[in-house]
């Protein structure tokens, strides 16, 4: 892959407080790789030997429960760091990262994490801010799964994906990466049958439209009402 121009990264959070010379220094240590949809970039529990920056595509972050089930706890958008186990004082990855669409990511040896955060304060500040926000999102998802009624959980999950990646179409707001009913089931601790029943009912009511791996929210306000977020 051609050498990246640092100007492409100046507006991304980890680099926004750095000058171009500093960004170039960081980029010179990076390796770029493309991942097919469905590929695992790394797996929960494996040695955390590299950390990453998502350039293009979307990621699903999957964690295993004590019972052995896998749940999707988070989606990651372009421009964000991920796999930063060192920031959590861990030597292994706390979750599995799976490409939700064709994805391009930069990566660096984990041994450079302390060098980057030590030498580039802006890099450290933005990275830890992102990490704090992400942990808050995971906690919110787990709380919803434990406390909310099924319909509210599913509506909240679809809304989160819409808000994170949605793009306007003639039909409504389309989620910007492939998503299946099984994915939504894995995000909400709900059976596939229940998710299918809810989406079918919402389609009949004109709230969403779905076809293979594509979901469009046709009436966002009604989905907000179903999620209980208006209260």
Q: State residue 13's pLDDT score.
A: 84
Name the residue ranges covered by the structural domains of the chain.
Answer: 6-145, 148-227
pLDDT digits (tens, 9 = 90+) for 96-155: 999 999 999 999 999 999 999 999 888 888 888 888 888 888 888 887 777 889 999 999
Q: What gap in Å lies between CA 52 and CA 202, rounded to an integer?
A: 37
Q: State residue 67's pLDDT score.
A: 78
Q: What's the CATH fold of domain 6-145?
A: Jelly Rolls (2.60.120)
pTM: 0.80
pLDDT digits (tens, 9 = 90+) for 164-201: 889 999 999 999 999 999 999 999 989 999 999 999 99
Please name the residues in contact with 55: beta carbons below 8 A apart, sequence gap of 6 or more. Answer: 32, 78, 79, 104, 105, 106
Name the least confident of 39-43, 58-62, 121-125, 138-142. 138-142
Q: Is the pLDDT of residue 4 over 80?
A: no
Q: Is the pLDDT of residue 224 over 80?
A: yes
Q: How much is the average pLDDT of 37-61? A: 95
Residue listed under structure tokens 């595509």: 57
Q: What gap in Å lies between CA 207 and CA 201, rounded to an integer?
A: 9
Can you read off the two tokens belonging to residue 71?
A: 């749940």
Q: How much is the average pLDDT of 87-102? A: 93
148-227 CATH: 2.60.120.10
Q: Is the pLDDT of residue 2 over 60?
A: no
């Amino acid at each position: 892959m051609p050498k990246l121009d640092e100007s492409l990264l100046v507006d991304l959070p980890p680099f926004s407080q750095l000058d171009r010379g500093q960004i170039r220094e960081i980029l010179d240590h990076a390796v770029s790789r493309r991942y097919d949809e469905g590929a695992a970039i790394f797996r929960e529990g494996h040695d955390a030997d590299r950390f990453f920056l998502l350039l293009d595509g979307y990621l699903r972050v999957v964690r295993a429960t004590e019972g052995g089930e896998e749940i999707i706890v988070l989606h990651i958008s372009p421009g964000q760091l991920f796999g930063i186990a060192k920031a959590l004082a861990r030597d292994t990855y706390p979750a599995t990262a799976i490409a939700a669409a064709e994805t391009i990511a930069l990566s660096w040896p984990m041994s450079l994490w302390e060098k980057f955060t030590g030498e580039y304060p802006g890099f450290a500040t933005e990275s830890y801010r992102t990490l704090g926000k992400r942990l808050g999102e995971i906690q919110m998802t787990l709380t919803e799964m434990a406390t909310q009624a099924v319909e509210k959980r599913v509506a909240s999950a679809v809304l989160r994906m819409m808000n994170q990646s949605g793009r306007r179409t003639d039909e409504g707001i389309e989620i910007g990466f492939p998503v299946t009913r099984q994915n939504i089931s894995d995000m909400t601790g709900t059976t596939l049958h229940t998710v299918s029943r809810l989406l079918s009912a919402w389609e009949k009511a004109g709230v969403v439209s779905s076809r293979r791996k594509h979901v469009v929210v046709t009436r966002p306000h009604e989905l907000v009402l179903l999620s209980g977020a208006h209260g």
